[in-house]
Homo-oligomer: A and B are copies of this chain.
Amino acid sequence: KQKEFEKATGKVSAQSKEALRAALAGVLERRMFYIPSFKIYGSVAGFYDYGPPGCAIKQNMTQTWRNHFVLEENMLEVECPAVTPEIVLKASGHVDRFTDFMVTDAVTGECFRADHLLEGHLEALLEDKKNPPSPEKTKEIRELLASVGELKQDTMAAALKEYNVRAPGTGNDISPPFPFNLMFKTSIGPKGDLVGYLRPETAQGIFVNFRDLLYYNGGKLPFAAAQIGNSYRNEISPRAGLLRVREFTQAEIEHFVNGADKSHPKFASIAGLRPLLYSRALQMGEEKKAQPMSLGEAVEKGIIANETLAYFIGRTWLFFIKVGINPERMRFRQHLQHEMAHYATDCWDGEVETTYGWVECVGLADRSAYDLKAHTSMSKIDLTAFEKFPEPRMEEVVKVVPNNKELGAVFKKDQKAVKEALEALDECGAMELKSKLDAGETAKVAASTGQTFDIKPGMVEIKKVTEKVTGKTYTPSVIEPSFGIGRIMYCMFEHSYYTREGDETRAVMGFKPVVAPTKATVFPLVQKPALNELATKISRDLTSAGLSNIIDTTGNTIGKRYARTDEIGVPFAVTVDFASVDGDGSVTLRERDSMAQVRVPQSEVASVIRNLVDDRMTWGDVTATYPAQKAQADDE
């Protein structure tokens, strides 16, 4: 009845979410998809190990990602260390701003995330049946709840005070909120004076290599670089299981492009895709529901900022479908204006619906030229590209001509530094200086040495001239799709889990063959030497074809053995029977989701499964090619 209600209304009750999550967790832990790390020492929150099937799925997923993005798009893949010296993360802003607000229990010293505490407190007020808040108060609480993530230190402090939020468990006073940096800190080298952090994202490794990568790419833009690797965030109080961990695998792409032209040559190939888009307008509207829309239309209407960003949204959608996410339970949500950094042009999060709500699994951001400019400014290394015009153009340019004689007389040994500072001015800086000098004022100019110099009229001539220019130097924009592999895996687990019709205890993990940890199991029908021998031979054939497989000679009933393999999501099962050794030599091949069975010659079975896994053949092709085998009474 619960199920019918859910089907009819499209809503899932809290109980049924809890039940589903618990049932799934049971399978995942029992079959060792993951294990809380350091379990024999009591574990540490926020750390998980992948056990054998989890590890295999992760490998398959990153390999699929690599084929889908790196290989298909000829991206430049790099691998950089996780240990990162402070200056890199100072430039990126992480040292100063990668923080969450923390409060502590005034008595016990226990630490909490301020936003989690406030949210919990407000939700409890809304659900308080004994003392329900007034309609006005309810409205106020709801509004505050919606903006908890954007509160600043002072407004957070005010809110915690106003609602008299206290420490959970003890009910003690809490400290005012203060920023806590989420990076793990360490020191590099024996002297202890070189501060390092574990990277909070893989992206910075690509940015600091931009110059070399551009050279590698023959100086041509656009190009994309990619990195798959572990990142680290010292979360204050990790919860939500596999969704918020302290060490996790990211797969990030930095697509470098001239900000003046963000068209994409392959845009047409994805323009017809219709993922669920949850635009700013839909979020502010009445229904608050994502709508399918073709990416072509979204770019045309200006909903998605440009073709390149839309191209990656499309490719990301295809990737998610390929690894087993249900496209009807995935949406791309646009960041509201106040959610975006000041420099960002447009951002979309790929979110997947789970029992935890909508989970952000990928962020796609047009970050303009912010990152490369930040590193140029810190490193003093030029991180620009040069756009050669098809034809030279006549353009008005600003010329800065220092008066060497005058500079030499006034600045003596600093003459060179002053001259360089003047010549380094960009167009705006030069025109600003000109206007001051023209007004007879003295203006200050900063040199790269750290000195500041007073420039007086007559020391420099600044003029606009029209001249032939062959191209333009610019700092490329970056469009960044950033994937959280662990989160995608968890969401995929939820979307893959189901129970057999009519038997709630028979769990099936309906993994796509490409991500399934084990591609096939091999069973002898009964325990006989001849059958075991053939099963072993077929297992070896599968291994030679690069197909992970398990041979099960336990002698359990076939039905029990199928149930076991269903639970770890093995898509195909090969059963060897007497006909396989004495008759026509064929074996039974069974597909997990349809439970359909066919007879395949034993010499062909490895290549058939290989083709199925590599998507070169569908199960439909197989049933059309090979004769069906009727399931036996005790099979399922």
Where the two chains meet, the residues of A that have a C-beta atom closer than 8 Å to any C-beta of B are 32, 35, 37-41, 44-45, 47-52, 54-56, 58-59, 63, 66-67, 71-72, 74, 76-85, 87-88, 102, 109, 111, 180, 184-191, 194, 196, 198, 205, 208-209, 211-213, 216, 230, 232, 234, 236-237, 246-247, 375, 378-379, 381, 383, 543, 546, 548, 550
Contact = CB atoms under 8 A, between A and B. Distances in A.
B52 A208 contact: no
Contacts of A72: 543
A44 B212 CA distance: 17
A212 B43 CA distance: 14
B246 A83 contact: yes
B81 A208 contact: no
Given A40-B211, A543-B72, A82 B247 contact: yes
Contact of A77 (B37, B56, B234): B56
B44 A85 contact: yes
Given A49-B205, A56-B77, A41 B111 contact: no
A172 to B, nearest CB: 16
B49 A59 contact: no
Judged by DSSP, the binding face of A is: mixed
17 contacts: A35-B209, A37-B81, A38-B208, A39-B212, A40-B211, A41-B87, A41-B208, A41-B379, A49-B209, A50-B79, A51-B76, A63-B63, A71-B543, A81-B246, A82-B82, A83-B246, A111-B190
Given A44-B85, A209-B39, A247-B83, A186 B186 contact: yes
A196 to B, nearest CB: 8
Contacts of A186: 184-186, 198
A38 B190 contact: no
Contacts of A102: 190
A82 B81 CA distance: 13
Nearest to A245: B81
Nearest to A540: B72
A93 to B, nearest CB: 15
B189 A375 contact: no
Given A72-B543, A189-B111, A212-B39, A232 B77 contact: no
Contacts of A41: 85, 87-88, 208, 378-379
A234 B216 CA distance: 31
Given A38-B208, A71-B546, A188-B234, A51 B194 contact: no
A45 B47 CA distance: 29
A205 B74 CA distance: 35
A235 to B, nearest CB: 8
Nearest to A614: B546
A56 B230 CA distance: 17
A448 to B, nearest CB: 15
A342 B194 CA distance: 37
A41 B102 CA distance: 32
